[in-house]
């Protein structure tokens, strides 16, 4: 049995972002229970040269919506990148999930060899669809979700591996 581009994109994206949202909810609850401002978590980072929690979530959602749109041949939704609260981050994730879930398998299946050009400040990165998804988007998505998890865990939020992986 073969696996389709849709199967290795949309369901993977939905699971990762759903789990990320649940992790953020635990972070917000932790800040409330310990009676400190949520901005402490939202602005924290693991190292001085790394992005803070808020930016980790923005990049994770950008990877998902950008990939899904490019593979489907539709315009990439634009977000303002102005999230300043956990509620803002939930809304960003929810909007990304709604967009991704609106795509049909027939829009993405068959995109394995589709030319994908990703604009960057140093010039475009050129890919074919399948390597773009498997070797660029998946690692980036997991990197930023993992980093968000690590920031929260480092700050005492009670999280375990299953919070990241999600329920089977």
| Residue-range domain boundaries for the chain | 42-162
Q: The domain 42-162: what is its CATH number?
A: 1.20.120.450
Is the pLDDT at 93 greater than 90, yes or no? yes
Mean pLDDT computed over 137-151: 98
What tokens does 98 get?
């709604």
Is the pLDDT at 81 greater than 80, yes or no? yes
Mean pLDDT computed over 10-29: 98
**Percentage of the chain modeled with pLDDT above 70:** 99
What tokens does 103 get?
């795509």
Inter-residue contact 136 to 71 (CB < 8 Å): no
**Percentage of the chain modeled with pLDDT above 90:** 96
Pairwise CA distance, residues 25 & 30, whole Å: 9
What pLDDT shows up at residue 36?
96
Mean pLDDT computed over 106-117: 98
């Amino acid at each position: 049995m073969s696996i389709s581009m849709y199967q290795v994109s949309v369901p993977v994206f939905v699971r990762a972002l759903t789990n990320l949202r649940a992790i953020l909810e635990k972070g917000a609850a932790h800040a409330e229970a310990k009676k400190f401002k949520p901005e402490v978590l939202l602005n924290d980072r693991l190292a001085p040269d790394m992005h803070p929690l808020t930016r980790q979530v923005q990049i994770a959602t950008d990877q998902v919506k950008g990939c899904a749109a490019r593979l489907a041949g539709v315009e990439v939704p634009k977000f303002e990148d102005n999230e300043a609260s956990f509620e803002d981050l939930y809304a960003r994730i929810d909007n990304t999930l709604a967009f991704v879930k609106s795509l049909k398998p027939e829009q993405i299946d068959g995109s394995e060899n589709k030319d994908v050009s990703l604009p960057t400040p140093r010039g475009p990165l050129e890919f074919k669809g399948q390597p773009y998804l498997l070797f660029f988007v998946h690692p980036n998505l997991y990197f930023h979700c993992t980093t968000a998890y690590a920031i929260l865990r480092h700050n005492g939020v009670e999280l375990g591996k299953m919070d990241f992986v999600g329920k089977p």
